[in-house]
DNA sequence: ACAAGGAATGAATAATGATTCACTTTTATG
DNA sequence: CATAAAAGTGAATCATTATTCATTCCTTGT
């Protein structure tokens, strides 16, 4: 015998793998999944195309993981908002705002995660991700019902509606309409938009106007 | 001179064109846009592949039109619900139910229109289509505000939220999960689901529980 | 019947990108 | 250093489909 995988090597491999993931994520942030080809990822990571296949069995595998990672971050943030102090309603409002704010800050990323057409395997991740959001909201809603600050309702359904309303409202503003990296057009109404979403959603939950 | 396009020919051409559209739609209804290749459309329409290009400049053109047609039908239905007699609220409820019912009746079609990943040109049609729905709802909401049965609100935002909540709630049930043409699993909760959506949406609009 | 356009055909081509694989380089061990 | 085992390489291959175009087939008007 002559070669055994050593700790150092294991580490180096892990680093390369991570670099691939990072570069893939970068590309998605810059131009969505559509513009993130395997060869581009390789170039960005300064490795050969073939090397990527030593770390991932297929492109979809790689990008599913990219999606998962990006997503986890976002879900965590919303989860944190929901875990803070305050009434359930306040926390839900905070979470909705958090979601919207983060999306509007990284429009391309948000669009890629929320609405860009993607391969089946990645789309599957998207469903999971939306469900993860919904489940966070769902739990908060249940809490609210227990505390009595939310009326009895189907928590699953309500949380799904929340996610949908949020996503749909953001798709318009986020959509990378051909050749306009125009900052000015949206900036001003962002606040109004978010307020409108929050109002609708909270009313949908509470059945109570302001 | 010897050949001039005659009425008969014009008609025949129109028929072929229509047949292409019909067959393309059929294919989408059966397997979504993904399974609707140009060659398949040709085969189904019993013409040569090349013939399709005498009627449409490109695949995306064809399918954009398919999308538009399918969509128009749906939007019209919802529009009709909103135009019937009754209070604004009743009509909005009717429209929401109409939308959901039609979607659940033709799951593949609905999924293709609402959530399937599609080419950019078709995606553009999707945005238009969602906007068309939103505009119908928007108008009803304005009416409601004028009549005083809806509190003041941003009609655009509210209508967008409606569409989003509806779409998101349906995506789960509609998603063609690999290899399950299972009827039983959803059938029973359909009614519950729709009721939940309607409740959330109407509350979101009115700020009033039942 | 015939000539002059169009219309239709479908095999060949193009385009895009993922994936492979024969070969080179690197790493670990006796 | 020699050798075994991986890891890395990237040009070539494969796969999938849209699109083209040289050719054939049909209409139409004389």
* Contacts B167 to A, Cβ<8 Å: 164, 168
Of the candidates B137, B127, B170, the residue with the CA atom closest to the CA atom of residue A115: B127
* Contacts A168 to B, Cβ<8 Å: 130, 160-161, 163-165, 167-168
pLDDT value of position A172: 86
Q: B167 — contact with chain A (CB < 8 Å)?
A: yes
Q: Which nucleotide across the nucleic acid strands is nearest to B3, CA versus C1'?
A: D28
**Domain extent listing, chain B:** 1-56, 67-206
Q: Which residues of chain B have pLDDT under 50?
A: 179-180, 182-183, 186
User: What are φ and ψ of residue A208, in 5° steps?
Assistant: -130, 130
pLDDT value of position B179: 45
Dig out the tokens for B124 from the structure: 């553009």
* CATH class label, A1-56: mainly alpha
A169:B164 CB<8 A: yes
Which residue in B196, B203, B207 is closest to A154 by CB distance? Answer: B196
DSSP class per residue in B45-71: HTS-HHHHHHH-SSHHHHHHHHHHHHH
Give the A:B interface size as CB pairs under 8 Å: 120
Distance B3 CA to C2 C1' (A): 13
pLDDT value of position A55: 97
Q: B53 — contact with chain A (CB < 8 Å)?
A: no
- Mean per-residue pLDDT for A72-100? 96
Domain A66-206 fold is Tetracycline Repressor; domain 2 (1.10.357)
pLDDT value of position B1: 65
Q: Which nucleotide across the nucleic acid strands is nearest to A33, CA versus C1'?
A: C17
Query: Which residue in B has a C-alpha nearest to residue A209's C-alpha?
Result: B207
Distance A27 CA to C27 C1' (A): 32
pLDDT at A210 over 80: no
* Cα distance between residue B97 and residue B137, in whole Å: 13
Answer yes or no: are the C-beta atoms of A112 and A33 closer than 8 Å. Answer: yes
Answer yes or no: are the C-beta atoms of A114 and A174 closer than 8 Å. Answer: yes
CA distance A77 to chain B (A): 21
Positions of chain D reached by protein Cβ under 7 A: 2-12, 17-22, 27-30
pLDDT at A179 over 50: no
Q: A159 — contact with chain B (CB < 8 Å)?
A: no
DSSP letter (8 states) at residue A86 = S
Architecture of domain B67-206: Orthogonal Bundle (1.10)
* Contacts B207 to A, Cβ<8 Å: 203, 207-210
**Interval A138-158: pLDDT, tens:** 999 999 999 999 999 999 999
**Interval A87-114: pLDDT, tens:** 999 999 999 999 999 999 999 999 999 9
pLDDT value of position A2: 76
Beta bridge partners of B208: A208
Of the candidates A50, A204, A72, the residue with the CA atom closest to the CA atom of residue A125: A72
A163:B168 CB<8 A: yes
pLDDT value of position B131: 95
Query: Which residue in A has a C-alpha nearest to residue B112's C-alpha?
Result: A117
User: What are φ and ψ of residue B208, in 5° steps?
Assistant: -135, 130
* Alpha-carbon distances, residue B99 vs A28, A164, A173, B106, B146 (angstroms): 34, 15, 24, 11, 25
Q: A193 — contact with chain B (CB < 8 Å)?
A: yes
Look at A75-84, A182-191, B2-11 and tell me which has the smallest mean pLDDT.
A182-191
* Probe site for chain A from B117, B132, B162, B176 (most A CB atoms < 10 A): B117
pLDDT above 90 coverage of chain A, percent: 84
Q: If you compute the radius of gyration of chain A from its CA atoms, what whole number of angstroms results?
A: 20
A14 C-beta less than 7 Å away from strand D? no
Which residue in the block uniquely carries the two structure tokens 């993860």? A132
B197:A157 CB<8 A: yes
Distance A14 CA to D4 C1' (A): 23
CA distance B67 to chain A (A): 16
pLDDT at A178 over 60: no
* Contacts A157 to B, Cβ<8 Å: 169, 192-193, 196-197, 200
Q: B169 — contact with chain A (CB < 8 Å)?
A: yes
> Residue with CA nearest C3 C1'?
B2
Query: What's the mean pLDDT when you consider all of chain A?
Result: 92
* Cα distance between residue B129 and residue B109, in whole Å: 14
pLDDT value of position B209: 73
Dig out the tokens for A72 from the structure: 């986890």
CA distance B126 to chain A (A): 11
């Amino acid at each position: 015998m002559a070669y055994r995988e050593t700790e150092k090597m294991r580490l180096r491999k892990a680093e390369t793998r991570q670099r691939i993931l990072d570069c893939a994520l970068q590309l998605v942030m810059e131009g969505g999944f559509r513009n993130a080809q395997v060869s581009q990822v390789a170039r960005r990571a300064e490795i050969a195309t073939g090397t990527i296949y030593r770390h991932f069995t297929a492109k979809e595998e790689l990008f599913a993981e990219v999606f998962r990672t990006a997503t986890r971050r976002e879900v965590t943030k919303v989860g944190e908002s929901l875990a803070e102090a305050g009434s359930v309603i306040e926390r839900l409002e905070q979470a909705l705002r958090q979601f919207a704010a983060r999306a509007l800050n990284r429009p391309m990323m948000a669009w890629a995660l929320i609405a860009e057409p993607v391969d089946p395997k990645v789309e599957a991740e998207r469903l999971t991700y939306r469900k993860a959001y919904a489940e966070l909201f769902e739990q908060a809603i249940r809490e609210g019902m227990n505390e009595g600050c939310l009326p009895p309702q189907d928590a699953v359904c309500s949380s799904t509606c929340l996610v949908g309303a949020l996503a749909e409202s953001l798709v318009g503003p986020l959509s990378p309409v051909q050749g306009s990296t125009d900052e000015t057009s949206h900036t001003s109404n962002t606040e109004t938009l978010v307020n409108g979403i929050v109002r609708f959603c909270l009313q949908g939950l509470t059945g109570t106007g302001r």
